[in-house]
Structure 1
């Protein structure tokens, strides 16, 4: 019987060996990752916030990864074309999506028939930054802080107007969330993009708008609009006199514009860890910190967990708002 068992095991062993080799080879490939250029998919056109951040990260991450990161702009369908392309790529770490609240959370909720579901089809690598937003009002308005505007809105429900970059835009949904938290009624005026929105705010067509820090700078410096509050976790040194939303009594209103990195579902943990480490190294770079100061960015990092937590919170906050507003692209 023992002799028979030995013969059986001897026959099985040669068959088992080839099955183990691919796993071993794959592990070796992971440990030497990356071996060729990495594609950074940006689901927006060149020149936008995600594209600018992607180009800075590509430059900074190249040193630690030892391979170039090639920008691939794939705009369209509110970011879902590029998001879908990244999600459908091989899960090998050579396609990385530069993702944001706009394409990761809001677009799949608003776009009818969206087949890609980022929370299902992608895995977080890390949170790169939060771009600070500014709640602003025309310089001609009587308010100089957010509480004064809220008091007026409560006394005159439906008499004040707020603008957005368009129906379903991040600043549209964020200010609808703010209305709920503040218990006020404001009338929505959608514009065709951030440029026309800022022009309308400067002209006094609307009394409130949420703008990203970088876009708001020319109008702020020109004195045509006034900042009421900033969305960062702490005050920017360049706007030290402007309180945060938490200081103004709205700790749960997260109106920052976040940007992170994600990879296709199924990407090996070792590859994600390598990318995450490279992202953290890039964010710690002196030049990156200088850029953050100029652009109003709060650099993040810290592995996939902070981005996972942010996505989880967004998926709690935004779907009810989209349903209540009956938003459809």
Structure 2
């Protein structure tokens, strides 16, 4: 029976829910995966953007969907781990309500400013912030987003005061940064690279352990004196709890094939992604590692929901 099901699944298009607005890292990765996984699955993967509530609206929608493999979540640390900790009374508990399909990738983050800012290095930024407490504005993709928590960590480590401006997604954040509404943000390289190439966004430091080949002139956070601090991004796929193991295995296989695709590898090199893959437990382990760290961190930062 299970073998017969595995041979027939999927027999119609699969909905790939992105709990963020179009244009952000999860959306970009989702569109590449949808294209790459279609060949293995023999069905289209339809992108369904469901932003708001720090990603919990889209996350809850997938958790409530039939556990048949036809509704899959593009998940990340922001919506899977951080948002439920910040947004008290969340309608969804991802660890309880979802099961991993696989970890697609980890992405390098870049601390950036705009070309008009009065500093061009991380050390100059810290000096400026100390001389002008609270007058430096930083943006995030929303309350509880990975880049919100990361800059709060950075602020604490640097001993500076910053003013937070939450945006509705990475696309709006990039626009606000380039327009001078904020002077600091942590972006994944895929979101920042167009502005960096054009000179409107200035990279200050990168989160990778070694400098990216495409950003050899930009120091790592460790080189700037901020060690034991890894605000990288991860993106994976998850399904409603109760989805049959054979369906998870079929989706995981398609993800593995997609990550092995030559075009996907080329995109990863351009965008600063580390393709991961592996069995579903690789994503489960990443989530458990975050859950061992972030509850205490968020309590210490005393973050309030929007």
TM over 0.5: yes
Equivalence for 2:138: 163
Cα distance in 2, alignment partners of residues 205 and 87 from structure 1: 36
Is the CA contact 2:63–2:98 (under 8 Å) kept in the aligned structure 1? Answer: yes
Are 1:41 and 2:17 an aligned pair? Answer: yes
Distance of 2:304 and 2:37 partners within structure 1: 38
Seen in structure 2, the aligned counterparts of structure 1 residues 203 and 289 have a Cα distance that, compared at 3 Å, is same
User: SS at 1:189's partner residue?
Assistant: strand
Q: Match of 1:28? A: 3
TM-score by length of 1: 0.78
Shift of 1:246: 4.1
Residue 302 of structure 2: aligned partner: 325
Which structure 2 residues correspond to residues 58-97 of structure 1 after superposition, within 5 A? 58-97=34-73
Q: Any idea what SS the aligned residue of 1:309 has?
A: helix
Measure the CA separation in 2 of the matches of 1:139 and 1:45: 26
Q: How far apart, in 1, do the equivalents of 2:179 and 2:15 lie? A: 42
Gaps of 5+ in 1: 1-24
Tell me by how many angstroms 1:247 deviates. Answer: 4.3
Shift of 1:320: 2.8
1:109 alignment counterpart:
85
2:103 maps to which residue? 127
CA drift at 1:109: 2.2
Q: Label 1:246 to 1:281 Cα distance change in 2 as closer, same or farther (>3 A).
A: farther
1:201 Cα offset (Å): 4.8
Structure 2 SS opposite 1:44: coil
Which stretch shifts more, 193-202 or 33-42? 193-202
8 Å Cα contact 1:160-1:206 kept in structure 2: no
CA contact (8 A) 1:131 1:256 kept: yes
Per the alignment, do residues 210 and 278 of structure 1 end up closer, same or farther by CA in structure 2, a change over 3 Å counting? Answer: same
- CA separation of 1:140/1:41 partners in 2, compared to 1, >3 Å: closer, same or farther? closer
**Bigger CA radius of gyration:** 1
1:186 equivalent in alignment to 2:165: no
Tell me the distance in 2 between the aligned counterparts of 1:185 and 1:309: 33
**Contact kept in structure 2, 1:33 and 1:271, CA below 8 Å:** no
| Segment drifting more, 194-203 vs 33-42 | 194-203
1:1-329 to structure 2, matched below 5 A, reads 25=1, 27-37=2-12, 38-139=14-115, 145-147=121-123, 149-150=125-126, 158=133, 161-165=136-140, 166-180=142-156, 182-193=157-168, 194=170, 197-198=173-174, 201=177, 208-323=184-299, 324-329=301-306
Using the alignment, how far apart are the partners of 1:205 and 1:159 within structure 2? 14
- Structure 2 length-normalised TM: 0.84
**1:14-53 CA distances to partner (integer Å, 9 max, x unpaired)?**
xxxxxxxxxxx2x234442514123222223444332222
CA distance in 1, matches of 2:296, 2:185: 22
* Contact 2:67-2:240 at 8 Å conserved across structures: yes
Check whether the contact 2:256–2:277 (CA below 8 A) recurs between aligned residues.
Answer: yes
Aligned counterparts of 2:176 and 2:109: Cα–Cα separation in 1: 18
8 A contact 2:54–2:144 mirrored in 1: no
